[in-house]
């Protein structure tokens, strides 16, 4: 059992949980993730390790509560526990050795670029983070990323920072030149747009793929993606790949496989909650 040590609300549907997991905290590296199961019969879901404290024996998970399983997780309070956390899984991020890196985070993808930015900063790499949300209340982890370097904040409605999408801010940075690598994490359309922006500039681009995962060890094949015309498994070969080689169309299509089932599960959950209140 993994005790919830701290809980914080980062945005209307994004929650940060600091969880006891000493073995994982000792060896985790940027880019790796865990498979979490709240309790018996619960769904296994992949979550990026947003941070870790080896001394305290804890890891930090940033969870967007949009499906039944993630909603169940973010309802946990300090003192309660998650039954299973398996990891660290996946290949660590190949961090730039020197130069200038831009980390682009869209929505909850900002939590995935945080450990990357921290790892780059520790190496002495110059880091610029470009993060965004629909409005000010949806922008997360700004202060944590400012500890790693410059931060450009964007909001769709212009209520905070720069008015517009993160891709527009990235375009301006690319036009200025001097960028060695771009790390981008967010919705599939955003990562695809970032990859197309960097392609003509010849800037190496790394994306973290949010494909469907079940066991996290390459056994089930659920997370297969196509990269450079070859089948890869995001859980063991990734989750990070060269954005210029990823078949984003296929990825987006596969992500809809269980959409109807997921919607049904959420509706059933709400119905049960309403019945319990009566």
Q: pLDDT (tens digit, 9 = 90+) per residue, 151-169?
A: 999 998 999 989 999 999 9
**What domains are defined for the chain?**
2-89 (2.40.30.10), 100-254 (3.40.50.80)
Confidence of residue 269 (pLDDT cuts 50, 70, 90): low
Residue 235 burial class via C-beta count within 10 angstroms: exposed 0-12, middle 13-18, buried 19 and up: buried
Mean pLDDT over each residue of the chain, to the nearest integer: 89
Q: Residue 235: its pLDDT value, please?
A: 86
Specify the range with the lowest mean pLDDT, choosing from 5-9, 106-110, 233-237, 273-277: 273-277
Specify the range with the lowest mean pLDDT, choosing from 43-52, 129-138, 256-265: 256-265
Q: Give the H/E segment covering residue 22.
A: helix 22-27
Question: Does the pLDDT of residue 17 top 90, yes or no?
Answer: yes
Q: Residue 80: its pLDDT value, please?
A: 95
Tell me: the pLDDT tens digits for 177-218? 999 999 999 999 999 999 999 999 999 999 998 877 777 777
Q: Please, are residues 83 and 39 in contact by the beta-carbon 8 Å criterion?
A: yes
Q: Residue 146: its pLDDT value, please?
A: 95
Q: Residue 273: its pLDDT value, please?
A: 56
* C-alpha–C-alpha distance, residues 76 and 84, integer Å: 14
Confidence of residue 68 (pLDDT cuts 50, 70, 90): confident
Question: Does the pLDDT of residue 133 top 60, yes or no?
Answer: yes
Sign of the dihedral defined by the CA atoms of residues 124, 140, 85, 259, in that order? negative
Q: Residue 69: its pLDDT value, please?
A: 86
Tokens of 100: 């200038």
The closest alpha carbon to 45, from 98, 82, 78, 96, belongs to: 82
Tokens of 163: 């008015």
Phi, psi (5° rounding) for residue 130? -120, 115
Q: Residue 223: its pLDDT value, please?
A: 83
Q: C-alpha 96: how far from its chain's center?
A: 19
Sign of the dihedral defined by the CA atoms of residues 128, 129, 135, 138, in that order? negative
Q: Give the H/E segment covering residue 24.
A: helix 22-27
Question: Does the pLDDT of residue 144 top 90, yes or no?
Answer: yes
Specify the range with the lowest mean pLDDT, choosing from 39-43, 53-57, 73-77, 93-97: 39-43
Phi, psi (5° rounding) for residue 50? -75, -25
Q: C-alpha 91: how far from its chain's center?
A: 14
Q: Give the alpha-carbon dihedral of 125, 30, 247, 221, to 10 degrees.
A: 160
* C-alpha–C-alpha distance, residues 59 and 56, integer Å: 9
Q: Residue 261: its pLDDT value, please?
A: 55
For helices 166-176 and 188-198, the axis angle rounded to 10 degrees is 20
* % of the chain beyond a pLDDT of 90: 68
Q: Residue 88: its pLDDT value, please?
A: 94
Q: Residue 92: its pLDDT value, please?
A: 92
Confidence of residue 149 (pLDDT cuts 50, 70, 90): very high
Q: Residue 252: its pLDDT value, please?
A: 85
- For residues 4-13, average pLDDT: 93
């Amino acid at each position: 059992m993994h005790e919830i040590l701290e809980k914080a609300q980062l945005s209307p549907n994004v929650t940060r949980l600091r969880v006891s997991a000493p073995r994982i905290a000792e060896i985790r590296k940027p880019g790796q993730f865990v498979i979490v199961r709240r309790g018996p019969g619960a769904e296994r879901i992949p979550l990026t390790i947003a941070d870790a404290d080896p001394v305290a024996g804890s890891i930090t998970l940033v969870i967007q509560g949009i499906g039944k399983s993630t909603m169940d997780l973010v309802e946990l309070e300090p003192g309660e526990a998650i039954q299973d956390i398996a990891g660290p899984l996946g290949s660590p991020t190949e961090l730039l050795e020197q130069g200038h890196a831009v980390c682009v985070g869209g929505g909850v993808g900002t939590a995935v670029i945080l450990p990357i930015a921290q790892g780059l900063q520790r190496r002495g790499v110059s880091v610029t983070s470009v993060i965004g949300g629909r409005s000010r209340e949806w922008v997360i982890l700004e202060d944590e990323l400012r500890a790693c370097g410059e931060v450009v904040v964007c909001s769709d409605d212009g209520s905070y920072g720069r008015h517009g999408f993160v891709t527009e801010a990235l375009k301006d940075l690319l036009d200025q030149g001097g960028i060695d690598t771009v790390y981008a994490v967010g919705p599939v359309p955003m990562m695809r747009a970032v990859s197309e922006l960097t392609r003509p500039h010849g800037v190496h681009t790394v994306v973290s793929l949010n494909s469907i995962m079940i066991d996290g060890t390459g056994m089930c094949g659920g997370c297969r993606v196509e990269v450079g015309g070859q089948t890869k498994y995001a859980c063991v070969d990734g989750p990070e790949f060269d954005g210029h080689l990823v078949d984003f169309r296929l990825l987006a299509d596969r992500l809809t496989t269980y959409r109807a089932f997921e919607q049904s599960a959420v509706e059933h959950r709400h119905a049960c909650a309403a019945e319990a209140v009566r």
